[in-house]
């Protein structure tokens, strides 16, 4: 057991933790290390994977593959395995993750605990829909095997359960067959929200993956004329020899101030929109840069400077998705703050399996904001009011400040979840949301 100052991907603050590395799935949890919390590769943006003053059980040491059937695509592995490690093993054999978030450097346990989603929710749902089973270790020593057909109530509590039902030790995943490592798709500019929703709906009938970049500072006073680029693609049926892996670059240091400001933001967004609008049309690329463009720049979170950044990601129900998105953009523009990493995409009708799963039928908006203290938090309060009025919710994996009332309004099954909480587990988020 050691101590360390640990911070989330948003780099907002670092807190002292006792740290214990888990390496053997057959071993009990250390009795003196409670309250604890499982912690994967540290890619959650807010405080869902932090436990200040408590213990973090670091799961990256549980990094072994248990079995892989190359004929069926069924993979069993420990919870500390990275999605990147799965891709390295499975892709050369014709298999890929059926759902993946925007980085491949997250653990399987973290992907389950946050029920991550990707660019293909309209076709494949979220990560939990492809988990065949998992094993869970409670702090009292009980081991629980569960899945969609085995102790399904425990499975529903653990998928999207924020790491609070126990330590996920192993998981069995159903991978997806692919015939090449290439993507065939297209890009299309849009200049209003109405155009985005029309283009997105049409693209979902043609392609497996649909996502858009949004210029959040360009929206008019109504928010309706927001512009952006819609990207859509499907796995190509054949492809040339994959290119050699690109050498990842690294942000070498943390600048003394955030590099994201009004001047740089407007310049970047202007250049990005016009460059991609000029190249609109059919596109073909290797799947790694399509799914994980930011993974080519390691430690990119440093560009926000020593104060770090927040990500604000919400889901808006179908009935009010366009009007509520416009209101969000209107509020952001009026605040004078903004994000160059702004994502707008739709969710399909498939409900999440977890009691606290984030996706819902409708639209999700995700934006990064440098931390400007009170002015940023005041903006988030205004955005919260819009999301709550629309019947939406915030994504816990990205959040570090929403109120208990906001969470309870967005997750009506939270009271059912409490029956499955492990009393020996706690996090900064659970204390803020649940009181313990």
**Between residues 222 and 47, which one has the greater pLDDT?**
47
Q: Which of 155, 135, 131, 156 is nearest to 144 (CA)?
A: 135
Judge residue 271's burial from the number of C-beta atoms within 10 Å of its C-beta, 0-12 exposed, 13-18 middle, 19 or more buried. exposed
Least confident of 32-41, 84-93, 124-133, 213-222: 213-222
Helix (H) or strand (E) holding 189: strand 182-190
pLDDT at residue 264, as a whole number: 82
Mean pLDDT, residues 260-284 taken together: 86
Mean pLDDT, residues 402-427 taken together: 97
pLDDT surpassing 90 at residue 379:
yes
> Could you give the percent of the chain with pLDDT greater than 70?
97
pLDDT at residue 214, as a whole number: 93
- Single pTM value for the model: 0.96
pLDDT at residue 219, as a whole number: 65
What is the spatial distance between Cα 146 and Cα 224, in angstroms, rounded to a whole number? 45
Complete DSSP assignment for 284-335:
EEEHHHHH-GGGGEETGGGGG-TT-EEEEEEEEEGGGHHHHHHHHHHHHHHH
- Encode pLDDT of 155-189 as tens digits: 999 999 999 999 999 999 999 999 999 999 999 99
The number of residues in the chain equals: 436
Q: Which of 72, 161, 63, 64 is nearest to 113 (CA)?
A: 161
- Encode pLDDT of 296-348 as tens digits: 999 999 999 999 999 999 999 999 999 999 999 999 988 888 777 899 999 99
pLDDT at residue 336, as a whole number: 84
- Encode pLDDT of 247-262 as tens digits: 789 999 999 988 888 7
pLDDT at residue 245, as a whole number: 65
Mean pLDDT, residues 89-93 taken together: 96
Using only the alpha carbons of the chain, give its radius of gyration. 21
Model confidence at 221, in pLDDT bands (50, 70, 90)? low
pLDDT surpassing 70 at residue 222:
no
Tokens of 421: 């909480």
Residue 86 backbone zone (phi > 0: left; psi -120 to 50: alpha; other: beta): alpha
Mean pLDDT, residues 101-117 taken together: 98
Q: Output the CA angle 110-113-117, nearest 5 degrees.
A: 80
For residue 35, say if its preceding peptide bond is cis, omega within 30 degrees of 0.
Answer: yes
SS3 content of the chain, % helix, strand, coil (to 5): 30, 30, 40
pLDDT surpassing 70 at residue 52:
yes
pLDDT at residue 383, as a whole number: 97
User: Terminus-to-terminus CA distance in the chain, angstroms?
Assistant: 23
pLDDT at residue 117, as a whole number: 98
CB atoms within 10 A of CB 143: 13
pLDDT surpassing 80 at residue 220:
no
CA distances from 379 to 21, 211, 218, 367, 368 (A): 38, 25, 17, 12, 13
Model confidence at 241, in pLDDT bands (50, 70, 90)? confident
| 112 SS3 class | helix
Beta-carbon contacts of 74 under 8 Å, excluding residues fewer than 6 positions away, are 67, 68, 132, 172, 173, 174, 175
Q: Angle between the 193-206 and 321-335 helix axes, to the nearest 10 degrees? A: 130
pLDDT at residue 349, as a whole number: 96
Asked whether 106 and 40 are in contact (CB, 8 A), the reply is yes
**Between residues 245 and 31, which one has the greater pLDDT?**
31
Q: Which of 404, 426, 402, 401 is nearest to 415 (CA)?
A: 404
CB atoms within 10 A of CB 274: 11
Mean pLDDT, residues 368-388 taken together: 96
Mean pLDDT, residues 265-278 taken together: 87
pLDDT at residue 244, as a whole number: 66
| 151 SS3 class | coil
- Encode pLDDT of 180-201 as tens digits: 999 999 999 999 999 999 999 9
């Amino acid at each position: 057991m050691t101590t360390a100052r640990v911070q989330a991907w948003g780099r907002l603050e670092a807190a002292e933790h006792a740290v214990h590395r888990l390496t053997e799935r057959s071993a009990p949890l250390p009795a003196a290390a409670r309250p604890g919390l499982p912690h994967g590769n540290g890619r959650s943006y807010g405080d869902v994977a932090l436990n200040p003053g408590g213990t973090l059980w670091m799961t990256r040491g549980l990094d072994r593959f248990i079995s892989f059937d190359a004929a069926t695509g069924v993979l069993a592995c420990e919870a500390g395995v990275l999605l990147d490690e799965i891709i390295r093993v499975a892709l050369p054999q014709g298999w890929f993750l059926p759902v993946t978030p925007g980085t491949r450097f997250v653990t399987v346990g973290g992907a389950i605990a946050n029920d991550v989603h990707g660019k293909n929710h309209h076709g494949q749902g979220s990560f939990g829909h492809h988990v065949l089973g998992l094993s869970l270790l409670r702090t009292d020593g009980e081991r629980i095997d569960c899945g969609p057909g085995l102790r399904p109530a425990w499975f529903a509590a653990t998928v999207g359960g924020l790491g609070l039902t126990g330590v996920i030790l192993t998981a069995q995943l159903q991978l997806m067959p692919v015939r090449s490592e290439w993507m065939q798709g297209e890009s299309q500019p849009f200049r209003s929200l109405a155009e985005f929703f029309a283009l997105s709906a049409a693209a979902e009938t043609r392609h497996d993956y649909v996502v858009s970049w949004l210029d959040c500072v360009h929206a008019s006073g109504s928010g309706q004329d927001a512009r952006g680029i819609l990207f859509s693609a499907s796995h190509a049926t054949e492809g040339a020899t994959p290119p050699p892996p690109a050498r990842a670059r690294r942000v070498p240091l943390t600048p003394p101030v955030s590099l994201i400001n009004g001047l740089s933001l407007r310049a970047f967004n202007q250049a990005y929109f016009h460059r991609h609008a000029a190249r609109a049309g059919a596109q073909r690329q290797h799947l790694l840069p399509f799914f994980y463009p930011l993974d080519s720049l390691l430690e990119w979170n440093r560009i926000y400077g020593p104060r770090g950044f927040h990500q604000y990601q919400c889901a808006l129900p179908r009935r009010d998705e366009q009007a509520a998105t416009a209101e969000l953009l209107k509020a952001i523009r009026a605040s004078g703050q903004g994000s160059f990493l702004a994502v707008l995409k739709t969710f399909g009708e498939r409900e999440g399996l977890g009691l606290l799963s984030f996706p819902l039928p409708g639209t999700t908006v995700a934006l990064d904001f440098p931390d400007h203290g009170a002015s940023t938090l005041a903006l988030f309060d205004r955005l919260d009011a819009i999301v709550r009025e629309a019947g939406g919710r915030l994504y816990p994996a990205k959040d570090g400040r929403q109120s208990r009332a906001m969470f309870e309004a967005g997750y009506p099954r939270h009271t059912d979840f409490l029956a499955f909480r492990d009393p020996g587990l706690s996090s900064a988020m659970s204390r803020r949301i649940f009181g313990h």
